[in-house]
Structure 1
Amino acid sequence: MRTTLPTGLGERAEIEAYTDFAAGAEPSIREELGAGARRFGSVLAVAVRADPSKFFNRAGGFGDEPVTAELITRVIDFYREQGVTKGSFMIAPSSLPRDWTAITTRLGLKEGPRFVKLGCDIETALTAPAGVTALDPSLRVGPVESDHAREWATGMMTTFGFTESAAMIDMAASCVGRPNWRQYAVREGERIVAVGSLFLHGDCADMFGGATLPEARGRGAQTALLAARAQAARAAGCRWLVAETGAEGPGEHNTSLHNMLRGGFERLYERATWVWRG
């Protein structure tokens, strides 16, 4: 039995989550944001023209077929058709071809931020390891219902810095209650202070959008959200969990990364973001 999450499965789960998050919104929200997606075999590309950060313009799911200049060019053509001026390619190191340097030079791709890809099986995540911060007694974790979707979305998007567009918050709120999504929040009293999502993709569930407001950090909120989402993934019949978070540079400390490592996740690989600018 394989004990490590297959690379292709983890990469597909991630891009399917991002695509459904943006392009699965209601038609009026998609139209306002200029959100669209296109599939190129196993590869998915999503673009959100009105996203000021350009963060959601991304392509992933590479690995099931050769990564070629022709494939990358087709995705770039999609970005141009969507009217975006920046798009990113998320490709696991093992899927990069030998001529990748030549491809990036020819097509003008530049290396951007690096992310750590993590994964584990469900049972490992549900086994509480020693040293994990317990949830503060004044906080409680639970699922998010549709009547709290806007508050939940505001907490997530604000914490990540997506504050320039109300429509972006509408996009996030619209995923609450969709079939393949599970949303959770940590509350202090009636106020949401931390959030996290789970996207179900066959055998694999993607940990998506975990965020805690500054005043609630260090009180076990993200650990509790990881556990709640792992339980939901097992209830849905998933075998694997996958997540990604920013890589640590010299002297940096990514709390989310270390929370997940303590929670049973395995560091699978570090992946560069390859950025195209129109």
Structure 2
Amino acid sequence: MTTDVPITLAEQTEIAAYADFVTGAPAPVRDALGIASLRVGSALALAIREDPSRFFNRAGGFGAGEPVTVDAVTEVCDFFRAQGLSQGAFMIAPVLLPPDWATTVDKLHLGQGDRFAKLGCNVEAALSAVDGVATLRTGLRVGPVEPRQAEEWATVMMTTFGFTAPGMTDMAASCVGRPEWEQFAVWDGERIIAVGSIFVNGECADMFGGATLPEGRGRGAQSALLTARARAAQAAGCRWLVAETGAERPGDHNTSLHNMLRSGFEPLYERATWLWKD
């Protein structure tokens, strides 16, 4: 089944998930981390001043009913600068880039960073692929995360991705139980070894933050989490699922990418990251 997920909806859902994940944190956490956001037309820009990874300093959701203009991109660059950032990223689907994008890149001195594979599928396609996905190894179980498990869940996700600055785990833990989110984990006995979430944006759900500890890899955890999240998206009334992961370069093997392909996802496009640096 070929996915018909609208590209602008895929991009809007992704940035909405990041925005809620970051800005939904309690005020003391936002203040300590220097969290800020800005809406520019259909786009959202985010900043976390005290996170040295710079991963969450990003803008996305461009092109929904309006063209991507140099003025809008400039406004986001000014926001990044005003927040005291040294780097910020623009996430824009290739088909949404304007014909004069090269001029904007030159004017604002943007560079290219990592490339990401954007994937999507109909919920039904993901569920029909379940039988072909590896099952959990003996001794593991998958299920929803309860508020009392939020800190352990967040610790697994943030440390696996290397987001270890003070306050980052508190930020992540605060999204457990928040409206529009559902979090899942895989346990080995009483210990969480893998995590993943969905963020529901109307008819579209974003597969967010799938991560597995090194000792839990190769045991079917992420495939089980993909299945659990697809079922949760269906129960929430979603029509589509979207996700993103690092694009493969020649000689690379991205396990997350191949897990999603086996789970019914299809490549939508490959997206460059456009970097602003101060």
**TM-score where L is the length of structure 1:** 0.97
Q: Deviations over 1:103-156 (max 9, x none)?
A: 101101000000000000111111135642111121000011111111000000
In structure 1, the partner of 2:114 is 113
Match of 1:201 in 2: 201
2:101 match: 100
Paired position in structure 1 for 2:154: 153
Q: Tell me the distance in 1 between the aligned counterparts of 2:36 and 2:82.
A: 10
Query: What's the CA shift for 1:25?
Result: 0.5
Distance across 2 between alignment mates of 1:132 and 1:145: 26
Q: CA RMSD in A?
A: 1.3
Distance 2:132 2:199 in 1: 27
More deviation in 122-131 or 69-78?
122-131
**2:130, 2:234 → 1: CA distance?**
18
Q: Secondary structure at the match of 1:166?
A: coil
Give the drift of 1:61. 0.3
3-state DSSP of counterpart to 1:29: helix
Deviation at 1:85, TM superposition (A): 1.5
Question: Is 1:68 matched with 2:33?
Answer: no
For residues 148 and 135 of structure 2, what CA distance do their matches in structure 1 show?
28
* Identity across the alignment (%): 65
Deviation readout 1:181-226 (Å, 9 max, x if unpaired): 1000000000000000110101100000000111111111001100
User: Which letter does structure 2 place at the counterpart of 1:153?
Assistant: A
* Aligned: 1:30 with 2:58: no
- Structure 2 partner of 1:122: 123
Q: Count how many residue pairs are aligned between Structure 1 and Structure 2.
A: 277
- 1:252 is paired with a residue whose SS is coil
Verify: 1:224 aligned to 2:224, yes or no: yes
Match of 1:256 in 2: 256
Task: Output the CA distance in 1 between the equivalents of 2:176 and 2:158.
Answer: 14
TM-score (norm 2): 0.97
Q: Secondary structure at the match of 2:167?
A: helix
2:198 maps to a residue whose letter is L
Partner AA of 2:159 in structure 1: T
Change in CA separation of 1:41 and 1:2 when aligned onto 2, cut-off 3 Å: farther
In the aligned structure 2, how far is the partner of 1:209 from the partner of 1:106? 34
What residue in structure 1 maps to residue 215 of structure 2?
A: 215
Contact 2:194–2:212, Cα closer than 8 Å, also in 1? yes
Q: Would the aligned equivalents of 2:3 and 2:266 in 1 still touch at CA under 8 Å?
A: no
Equivalent AA in structure 2 for residue 94 of structure 1 = V
Q: Deviations over 1:10-62 (max 9, x none)?
A: 00000000011111100000000000111112101111101110000000001
> Are 2:188 and 1:188 equivalent residues in the alignment?
yes
* Maintained 8 Å contact 2:130/2:227: no
Q: Distance in 1 between matches of 2:98 and 2:180?
A: 33
Rounded Cα–Cα distance in structure 1 between residues aligned with 2:145 and 2:13: 22
- Summarize deviations over 1:156-202 as a string: whole Å, max 9, x none: 01111112x13011111111110111000000000000000110101
1:118–1:36 Cα change, 3 Å:
same
Q: Which residue of 1 aligns with 2:48?
A: 48
CA displacement at 1:82 relative to structure 2: 1.6
* Other-structure match for 1:14: 14
Which stretches of structure 1, 4 residues or longer, exceed 6 Å deviation after superposition?
A: none
Runs of at least 5 residues in structure 2 that lack an aligned partner in the other structure:
none
Q: Distance in 1 between matches of 2:117 and 2:21?
A: 21
